[in-house]
A and B are shown apart, each in its own frame.
Chain A
Amino acid sequence: SQQGEEDPQALSIQEGENATMNCSYKTSINNLQWYRQNSGRGLVHLILIRSNEREKHSGRLRVTLDTSKKSSSLLITASRAADTASYFCATTGSWGKLQFGAGTQVVVTP
């Protein structure tokens, strides 16, 4: 079963614009992670935000977490063509298991 669900399913933007995607989840969490997947490749970890944190930054990435609404958002600022990828949120369960959403496919055109 999917714990996280991303919105939108697909996003198309121009280089230099910001990209925002959202993730909603169903049960209480210890932390929430975001991953990126380039076409046909494995996933790469981007950022982890703990349940007691509200916002976190890493380079051009900004993640927010609202535990009262059970939602998170990922913002990519000043997007580049190389940001074209699918982005997944994942919540952590027992034994470090991750529950992934279906992902947001982002296309950044030059």
Chain B
Amino acid sequence: DVKVTQSSRYLVKRTGEKVFLECVQDMDHENMFWYRQDPGLGLRLIYFSYDVKMKEKGDIPEGYSVSREKKERFSLILESASTNQTSMYLCASSSPPRSSYNEQFFGPGTRLTVL
């Protein structure tokens, strides 16, 4: 059974803290993605990675960074958490886009609250 796991389901942090969100996939996928989901806005892409040590900015990268040291792991980092980063964070992975079927597999999400 394919699986994408995220390190925490719920997280509460204080303004200014450095926050690490971890995502691991066991499908040997090249592509990995981080989204945030807010009511009425759907999912918005923060960063994605198409290979180890490669990263690309998505639509809303400000205030975030990422790390992909191993193929199976993609980390999202909030250098200095702010209250407007309170959100649901979703990680996903997929096979390369050159395949004709690029379904994304999602983790269960991390609900982050920044106080």
Contacts and interface: CB of A to CB of B under 8 A. Distances in A.
A69 interface: no
Interface residues of A, number: 25
Contacts of A43: 43, 90, 92, 104, 106
Contacts of A45: 103-105
B31 to A, nearest CB: 5
Contact of B43 (A1, A33, A95, A100): A100
A92 B33 CA distance: 13
Interface string A45-68: 100101000000000000000000
16 contacts: A1-B59, A2-B41, A31-B102, A35-B106, A40-B88, A42-B90, A42-B106, A42-B107, A48-B101, A88-B42, A95-B50, A95-B56, A96-B97, A97-B33, A97-B45, A100-B42
Interface of B: 4, 31, 33, 35, 40-45, 48, 50, 56, 58-59, 88, 90, 92, 94-97, 100-109, 111
